[in-house]
């Protein structure tokens, strides 16, 4: 058969499939057989074996996950479909999570066809910027422009580049806006604030020549703030120039807080900066000095007026006072904090330490007593101070035995989620699962978590139980999957298995297919470059991403990298955990400069919030896993003193 005829025949078969999918055929075979049939159908579809796919699909009538095969077919044939076919499909599967994505694909097809009237009929006012801008274009093409300028404004006034599909709408917006220059400047200012100088420069081309020069000056101030500040000392005192100077101070402070302070002291009295600009500049310099561990940071933060003290200013002043063992100052700072900070376990713990150092032992002990009842990082620190056993007592989230069939009987989303999970369609499974939770009461959510755990779907079980107040079902929250592999690599690499599990839980919640937004893969979330370097050191073949996602490989590579950072920092667990998260170079920069310091103080003053929380979590989680392994290890035993050099 000629290729053209074959393609035409295939397209005809695809278009004819939807009515056949609606046929009713009794389900056959066990659940395992149906899952295999599902895989067989997916395999057939991948190879364009439409007749075979259609036959297997008919055999799967009544199987919960069957609609996902129909969705797969929809995606393959959407380019050839007619509006009435899509309308029928979306109506039939309106309650399925994939309906949202199916509609989005169809909208893209309609845009490519230039079928703007149908586009507006199908557009569901979603927030997707590309599709929303296509809706703007559809209205322009069909003459439906009433109120359009106001609607485009919400997309225009963003400090980030927007999809090219927005260009026609933006052109219309600027042509019909009463003050195009004003709204262009508004977006330019937002772009600089969002650190998108190239966008700001691009937008500047829409302004007159004089304003373009101002944008170029701002651009240079963003790129080379120190050089620009020297030149800006002689400019006129205008609103724009003050904004540029404040921006340059902010940019320079992020690189060198003390140089920024020097320029600010020279320029502050020469220009009529607004109170807001003064507050923001002084706070940025002070906070950057704190992040950079400059000795001047404490004075700079203390000199901020009360109106400038936001959460970060309070937190970093407290951390600097911690490093300096300024217990009296720390007590004052904590007592000045807004209630939502003051009441956090973190600052209740350090307030108790400050009170102890100031001789107020009764008040200090009272705070520690309250904290020591909690199964958390600060709870374990408090318990160690009091020499008290940890409160890690298993309490089942639900005492009822769950009849899986009965529980799932009237919960179609959850039933589909189970099947999709066992079919390894994890993205679809999670969408169904968390849609199902919307319809459950509090007790049913706990039962659902228990059920997910029984399927070894640990990440969903952990996320589900987190939606309840229940925190003491440690078997749900801290499972120990892949135990044989973990213990084997712990022995071979002389690693603490509790530490491996602590890292694994924090990294991936035990999802073997986890992928982070930056590309980290698998249980212990290895970046491909890191995995390749570790594999090379082990004499392994260069791994592909699919190789890194294999559980055995991932645990082998992840534990080897953990061993590497443990070696780099002389088996100091806090430093190794920080290095696993943020890299060894950052950890070296954060080491104390002169004298050694306690690990709890060092962890508290790590500049990156993500890494600070990460280390605390790994230490606390390792302590919980100790209990599961039948060990009573003090968390403080993993918190060796931090030296200036390693």
Per-residue DSSP letters for 156-186? HS-SS---GGGHHHHHHHHHH-S-HHHHHHH
3-state secondary structure of 526: strand
The whole-number pLDDT of residue 8 equals 37
pLDDT at 373 over 50: yes
The answer to whether residues 14 and 93 belong to one domain is: yes
The answer to whether residues 632 and 503 belong to one domain is: yes
* Residue 12 counted as domain residue: yes
Output Rg (C-alpha) for the chain, integer angstroms: 30
* Residue 455 counted as domain residue: yes
User: Which class for 36: exposed (0-12), middle (13-18), buried (19 or more C-beta within 10 A)?
Assistant: middle
* Residue 362 counted as domain residue: no
* pLDDT over 70, % of the chain: 95
Give 10's pLDDT tier (boundaries 50, 70, 90).
Answer: very low
Give 285's pLDDT tier (boundaries 50, 70, 90).
Answer: very high
Q: What is the DSSP string of 223-261?
A: HSHHHHHHHHTTS---HHHHHHHHHHHHHHHHH-HHHHH
Mind telling me the catalytic residues?
507
pLDDT at 202 over 80: yes
* Mean pLDDT on 220-233: 96
Least confident of 77-91, 109-123, 395-409, 519-533: 395-409
Element (DSSP H or E) covering residue 623: helix 609-628
Which CATH number belongs to the domain containing residue 632 in this structure? 1.10.530.10
pLDDT at 23 over 70: no
* Residue 588 counted as domain residue: yes
642 beta partners = 597
* pLDDT over 90, % of the chain: 91
The answer to whether residues 58 and 133 belong to one domain is: yes
* Residue 255 counted as domain residue: no
The whole-number pLDDT of residue 505 equals 98
For all residues of the chain together, what is the average pLDDT? 93
The whole-number pLDDT of residue 4 equals 34
Nearest to 98 by CA among 408, 416, 410, 411: 416
* Mean pLDDT on 445-463: 95
Alpha-carbon span 492 to 559, nearest angstrom: 10
Give 399's pLDDT tier (boundaries 50, 70, 90).
Answer: low
| HSE, side-chain direction, 13 A CA sphere, residue 280 | 15
* Mean pLDDT on 406-416: 95
Q: Which residue, 146, 176, 193, sits at the end of a domain?
A: 146
The whole-number pLDDT of residue 401 equals 80
The answer to whether residues 15 and 103 belong to one domain is: yes
* Residue 348 counted as domain residue: no
The answer to whether residues 460 and 487 belong to one domain is: no
Which CATH number belongs to the domain containing residue 84 in this structure? 1.25.20.10
Which CATH number belongs to the domain containing residue 423 in this structure? 1.10.1240
* Residue 172 counted as domain residue: no
Q: Which residue, 471, 492, 513, sits at the end of a domain?
A: 471
pLDDT at 233 over 50: yes
The answer to whether residues 529 and 429 belong to one domain is: no
The answer to whether residues 65 and 30 belong to one domain is: yes
Give 9's pLDDT tier (boundaries 50, 70, 90).
Answer: very low
Say what the pTM is.
Answer: 0.86
The answer to whether residues 54 and 113 belong to one domain is: yes
Give the ranges where 324-425 is alpha helix by DSSP (H). 327-336, 339-342, 345-357, 361-372, 377-386, 404-409, 412-422
The answer to whether residues 501 and 452 belong to one domain is: no
Quick: pLDDT tens for 541-595.
999 999 999 999 999 999 999 999 999 999 999 999 999 999 999 999 999 988 9
The whole-number pLDDT of residue 28 equals 53
Phi, psi angles (nearest 5°) of residue 597: -140, 160
Q: Which residue, 146, 164, 180, sits at the end of a domain?
A: 146
The whole-number pLDDT of residue 235 equals 95
Query: At a CB cut-off of 8 Å and minimum separation 6, what does 346 contact?
Result: 378, 604
> Given phi > 0 = left and psi -120 to 50 = alpha, else beta, which region is 446?
alpha
pLDDT at 214 over 70: yes
Least confident of 25-39, 543-557, 570-584, 622-636: 25-39
The answer to whether residues 458 and 525 belong to one domain is: no
The answer to whether residues 460 and 503 belong to one domain is: no
Specify the residue for token string 């079928």: 115
* Residue 307 counted as domain residue: no
Alpha-carbon span 281 to 287, nearest angstrom: 10
State how many domains the chain has. Answer: 3
The answer to whether residues 467 and 496 belong to one domain is: no
Give 400's pLDDT tier (boundaries 50, 70, 90).
Answer: confident
The whole-number pLDDT of residue 13 equals 38
pLDDT at 27 over 80: no
Give 469's pLDDT tier (boundaries 50, 70, 90).
Answer: confident
For residue 57, what are the domain limits?
A: 3-146
Specify the residue for token string 């904290």: 371
pLDDT at 101 over 90: yes
């Amino acid at each position: 058969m000629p290729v053209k005829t074959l393609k035409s025949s295939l397209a005809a078969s695809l278009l004819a499939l939807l009515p056949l999918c609606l046929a009713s055929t009794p389900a056959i075979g066990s659940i395992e057989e149906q899952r295999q049939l599902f895989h067989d159908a997916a395999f057939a579809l991948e190879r364009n074996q439409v007749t075979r796919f259609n036959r297997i699909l008919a055999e799967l009538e009544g199987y919960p996950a069957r609609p996902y095969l129909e969705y797969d077919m929809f995606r393959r044939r959407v380019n050839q479909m007619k509006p009435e076919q899509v309308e029928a499909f979306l109506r039939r599967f309106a309650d399925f999570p994939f309906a949202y994505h199916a509609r989005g694909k169809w909208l893209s097809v309609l845009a490519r066809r230039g079928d703007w009237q149908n586009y507006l009929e199908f557009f569901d006012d979603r927030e997707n910027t590309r599709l929303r801008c296509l809706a703007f274009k559809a209205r322009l093409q069909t003459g439906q422009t009433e109120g359009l300028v106001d609607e485009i404004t919400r997309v225009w006034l963003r400090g980030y580049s927007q999809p090219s599909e927005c260009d026609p709408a933006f052109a219309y917006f600027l042509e019909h806006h009463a003050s195009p220059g004003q709204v262009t400047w508004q977006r330019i200012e937002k772009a600089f604030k969002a650190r998108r100088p190239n966008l700001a420069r691009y937008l500047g081309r829409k302004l007159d020549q004089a304003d373009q020069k101002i944008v170029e000056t701002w651009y240079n101030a963003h790129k080379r703030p120190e050089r620009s500040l020297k030149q800006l000392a002689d400019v006129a005192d205008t609103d724009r120039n003050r904004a540029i100077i404040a921006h340059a101070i902010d940019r320079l402070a992020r690189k060198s807080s003390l140089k920024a302070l020097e320029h600010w002291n020279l320029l502050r009295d020469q220009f009529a900066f607004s109170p807001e600009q003064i507050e923001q500049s002084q706070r940025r310099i002070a906070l950057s000095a704190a992040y950079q561990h400059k000795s001047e940071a404490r004075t700079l933060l203390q000199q901020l007026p009360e109106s400038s003290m936001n959460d970060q200013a309070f937190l970093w002043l407290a951390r600097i006072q911690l490093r300096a063992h300024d217990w009296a100052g720390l007590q004052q700072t904590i007592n000045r904090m807004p209630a939502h900070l003051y009441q956090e376990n973190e600052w209740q713990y350090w307030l108790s330490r400050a009170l102890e150092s100031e001789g107020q032992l009764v008040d200090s002990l009272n705070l520690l007593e309250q904290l020591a009842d909690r199964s958390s990082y600060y709870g374990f620190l408090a318990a160690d101070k009091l020499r008290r056993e940890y409160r890690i007592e298993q309490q089942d989230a639900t005492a009822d035995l769950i009849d899986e069939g009965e529980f799932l009987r009237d919960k179609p989303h959850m039933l589909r989620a189970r099947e999709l999970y066992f079919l390894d369609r994890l993205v679809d499974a999670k969408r169904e699962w968390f849609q199902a939770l919307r319809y459950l009461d509090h007790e049913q959510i706990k039962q659902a978590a228990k059920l997910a755990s029984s399927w070894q779907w640990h990440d969903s079980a952990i996320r589900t139980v987190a939606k309840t107040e229940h925190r003491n079902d440690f078997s749900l929250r801290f499972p120990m999957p892949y135990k044989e592999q973990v213990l084997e690599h712990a022995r071979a690499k002389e690693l603490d298995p509790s530490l491996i599990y602590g890292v694994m839980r924090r990294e991936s919640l035990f999802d073997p297919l986890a992928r982070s937004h930056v590309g980290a893969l698998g249980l212990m979330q290895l970046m491909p470059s890191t995995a390749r370097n570790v594999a090379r050191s082990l004499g392994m073949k260069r791994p592909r991403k699919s190789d890194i996602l294999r559980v055995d490989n991932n645990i082998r590579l992840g534990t080897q990298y953990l061993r590497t950072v443990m070696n780099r920092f002389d088996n100091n667990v806090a430093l190794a955990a920080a290095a696993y998260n943020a890299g060894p170079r950052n950890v070296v920069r954060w080491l104390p400069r002169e004298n050694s310091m306690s690990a709890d103080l060092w962890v508290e003053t790590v500049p990156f919030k993500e890494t600070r929380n990460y280390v605390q979590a790994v230490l606390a989680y390792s302590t919980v896993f100790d209990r599961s392994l039948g060990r009573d290890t003090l968390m403080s035993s993993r918190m060796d003193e931090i030296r200036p050099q390693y």
